[in-house]
Amino acid sequence: MEIRKKIVVKNPEGLHARPATELVKALSEVSSEVYIVYKGMKANAKSILNILSLGVDPGAEVEVIVSGEDAEKAIEIVEAILNEEAKD
């Protein structure tokens, strides 16, 4: 099963160090392949260096491509982290 979804990054940090680390850690629980596409670049969402290389800023729109048995769970994880509001 493959799911493609466009998501606007609401996280105030964009997809930089803390949220990227959180995303990689959370995605280690799924077997699906997960990619993030931004400005024509495609990165493996299970690799911190790949994610950081995209330089995704807050408010940017990314496309998430997920394929595998637990694709729905994986897309929910990505969406939750990208939509996370600021923590006090």
Q: Beta partners for 44?
A: 35
* Positions marked active-site: 16
Contacts of 19 (CB under 8 A, 6+ apart): 11, 13, 81, 82, 84
Tokens, residue 19:
């949220």
Strands (E), 1-79: 2-8, 33-38, 41-44, 61-67
